[in-house]
Amino acid sequence: MKISIIGAGNVGASTALMLCQKSLADEVILVDVVEGMPQGKALDILETMPLYKSDTRIHGTNDFSQIKNSDIVIVTAGLPRKPGMSRDDLLKVNADIIGKVAESIKKSAPESIVIIVTNPLDAMTYHMLKKTGFAKNKIIGMAGVLDSARFRTFIAEKLKVSVTEISALVLGGHGDSMVPLAAHTLVNGKPLSAYIPDEEIAQLVARTRNGGAEIVNLLKTGSAFYAPAASVVEMVEEMLKSTGKILACSVLLEGEYNYKDVCVGVPVKLHKNGVKSIEKLVLTAEEKALLDKSAKEVAEQIAKL
């Protein structure tokens, strides 16, 4: 198993470290245009491997051809958000970057599965799909796993229960219109509404939608990276193990949920070839209306591309 990560910033480097810690690949390639940075970070990570009893090999490079024969390519390259910026503000600049990255992947790793982390996530997933011409099951956006983890975190804090007792999904675009499925959220097998009133659930939903911005405002010079990296690793691990876990991922829809030619977060199952299936959830009327709004906003971003 060879996994390449394009972009050696905080998200990329953290992803590389976690993949190596878990021995999820025989070889990890960390690629970036900044000379010395991917090499230095890769060497630092490599030197932790004896401590984690892992024999994963990792090296950094500025040569994009080194991703050759990768099974999975993770794309984190692009500018992060800064305070006051929305994910939409990043659309044009990151579309230019993703377009160039797509050409490198198409040339050097044409059989790979591609996981997109770059924002605005759903539009960049669609952009990667069009620029590479890859099959739709091979281009997957990471956002729903992260947003679902944030929702679970806030619920656990509120109820003072273990995060392992909480089952939750967040669908839709990775933006302010994302759709935490409160009506489908279970705590120890019981509906979330059995524990707290609607107004408090609404507060948790709002905090989840604002989860990335909350961290951006605290950091002031960057955006979240530990939880995004862990979310990517969760997806990779499911591809390798195929446990049947349902994850929220951004994928191309061609009629599912009544959407066409748009990438948006929906429940999926992953396996060694990428997306195994798109799972059909019965949504409440309110959830479907919110998902419609979110999908429309993503479609508008795609139209701008």
Q: Which residues are catalytic?
A: 174
All residues at 6 or more sequence positions from 21 whose CB lies less than 8 Å from its CB, including other chains: 48, 52, 54
Distance CA 198, CA 292 (A): 22
Pairing of β 274-278 and β 170-171? unpaired
Q: Tokens 């795609």 belong to which residue?
A: 302
User: Residue 38, Cα to own-chain centre: how many angstroms?
Assistant: 21
Say if residues 50 and 38 touch (Cβ distance below 8 Å).
Answer: no
Task: Tell me the backbone φ, ψ of residue 264, rounded to 5 degrees.
Answer: -155, 155
Say if residues 91 and 298 touch (Cβ distance below 8 Å).
Answer: no
Distance CA 64, CA 71 (A): 15
